[in-house]
Structure 1
Amino acid sequence: MLHSTNSNELLISEDAMNARTILITGGAGFIGSNFVYHWCETYPGDRVIVLDALTYAGNRATLNPLEETANLRFVQGDICDRPLIDRLLQEETITTVAHFAAESHVDRSILGPDAFVQTNVVGTFTLLEAFRQHWLAQDKPEHFRFLHVSTDEVYGSLDADDPAFSETTSYSPNSPYSASKAGSDHLARAYFHTYGMPTLITNCSNNYGPFHFPEKLIPLMCINILLGKPLPVYGDGQNIRDWLFVRDHCRALDCVLNQANPGETYNVGGNNEVKNIDLVNMLCDLMDELAKDLPVHPARDLITFVKDRPGHDRRYAIDATKISTELGWVPQETLETGLRKTVQWYLSHENWWQPLLSEEYQAYYQKVYA
């Protein structure tokens, strides 16, 4: 630490002198916004540029508390807009990209796959190619990084007795969403092997926590319980997912960016496999305990089984041994502690989720669950 003799001057640390500039795409979405908070809290000396198209699942209000921070700049724009990407990389002297921007809901990909191919495949290609040119123009700095955040759904579906997905599991996507993410993974991998560009890939299990758009399972159940609406459960409810608290995921991504060698891939899971119906029952019980004056009590009375969606994968499970062994990351939250924190957040942040229940959202909900 270099101390100033003038109390009105800023103290300059080595961390501040070596501060990075990170571009976070999709930073107004669910995982992206949580990562923005994590990065700003953990590395206050870094410059953070958030790029988000603010489609239906992007919410700029999520970042309002951070926008007063001098080190954060928000830019509304599309990752397919190459001139915009080039300008941001050059103007802000970007050293690191954390790429979250994606169309991510399986149901929506079934209804309209074209947006998923455009954003997830073409958009990722646009970012990779722009970053490659930027990296070359800077004479291939060794500290540059491009982190591509992906999903376990690229691996397909598991039977009950199958081993969990590892980094060497063959890709076998079963929905337009997972196929588009698989394509973007392959591009990120190819840019390392072909050009030597310092890319990193992570494949995570189902995330949950604050700032989750209401169409996803956990926030949907919490909000419908508060509104006294049916809780739609696909098929027989026996589909199994591994659940990862979003802030644990952010810590894992931090480890990958700061410790992993370029070209590596890491699976990130919460070690919490649970059947959908069991998860819904857990949420009902937590809402009964924590919420006051529910329209329907017990909340389990609202559970309604609906027609299964096409190509519904039966089971996902992540083997996170590699990231644990090589980088020392392990999740801090159990499913019980993470769900309790999540339910409490939705109970105390109605002002965040209530405006999202728009006419467009209601029309989509009816189309999917009618």
Structure 2
Amino acid sequence: MHEEVLASVMANPSVVPTMAIWGWQIAVYLFLGGFTAGLMVFSGWAVLTKREERAPFAATRAPLVAFIALSLGMTTLFLDLSHKINVWRFYTTLHVTSPMSWGSWVLVLVFPALIIAALDGLPVGFPWLAGWLSGLPKVGGLVVVPLLRLCRWLRVPAALLNIGLGMALGIYTGILLSGFNARPFWHSALLGPLFLVSGLSTGAAMMVLASPKAEERHMFGRIDLALIMVESIILGLYLADMLNGDLVQRQAVGFLLGGAGSRVFWLGFVPLGLGVPLLLEAAMWRRTFLIPGALAALMVLSGGFLLRGIVIAGGQETGWVTLQNQFNPALLGQLGAIPSPDPRF
């Protein structure tokens, strides 16, 4: 029996590795992480500037919403892990050059800061929940009530922590991706600021959507208008930076400029996540109307998720190395002309 085998390096996944392994779980995690960051920053800002009466949702309810959102985000991240039992290894060391290691430790600090702020706002923001917890047998009077008083005493330090850690969490979600140097679509220092501003924008949109007070909705509508403008500028700078890069970076950004992600980007995120909310909030500069304000806020939240989904997909579609599988018929003929070795040797 005479066999001929043609081997190509393209058949070896170790030569040209692929990373099309991140799906909706990572997009949800990054979105909820940025959303949480926005809520944390605005909650701390409302407390430090003594705006509890003008912004009651931000000062008292937003921390609990942020805690729930981040918990859901961490759940989706856990679902994405291939070896879930090894998650504890993140916290056995700190790799100073690893954005993922820094992010894992930031998340450890975020939860206590959020819990303190949430418990501080509980009696005013969710009085029924505070009353129920305080009335629990055995633990209500001995544990819950003193804990609420302690958190009230720590409200200013907790507000400072929420602002600082919220900024770190928001920018980390972009730095996490930009740290993957092998992915030209992600290899930009602008991803961190872009995700931070987008997260702040979604946090402001939540205030507009959920606050029962018209003054608070109007205030955060104005804030969100400014954030959308800044986000649009950073996005434009990102596109310009990629188009002025080398050939591989220009090919990578082609994912948005006529490639597989162009429709979602130009027909979804740009008009619905940026353009229409910008126009609606600009039209409501003097007075915020409930339904248009809620519509703009929902679009901003949807756009925040679309942005992260597009970026996740774009980074996995492109790479620095592109090898072409060249087939030479003449070489094949030469291989066929080589006499078979004597089976006796």
The structure in which a higher percent of residues are helix is: 2
* TM-score, normalised relative to structure 1: 0.24
The structure in which a higher percent of residues are strand is: 1
* TM-score, normalised relative to structure 2: 0.26
Higher relative contact order (CA 8 A, sep 6+): 2
Larger Rg: 2
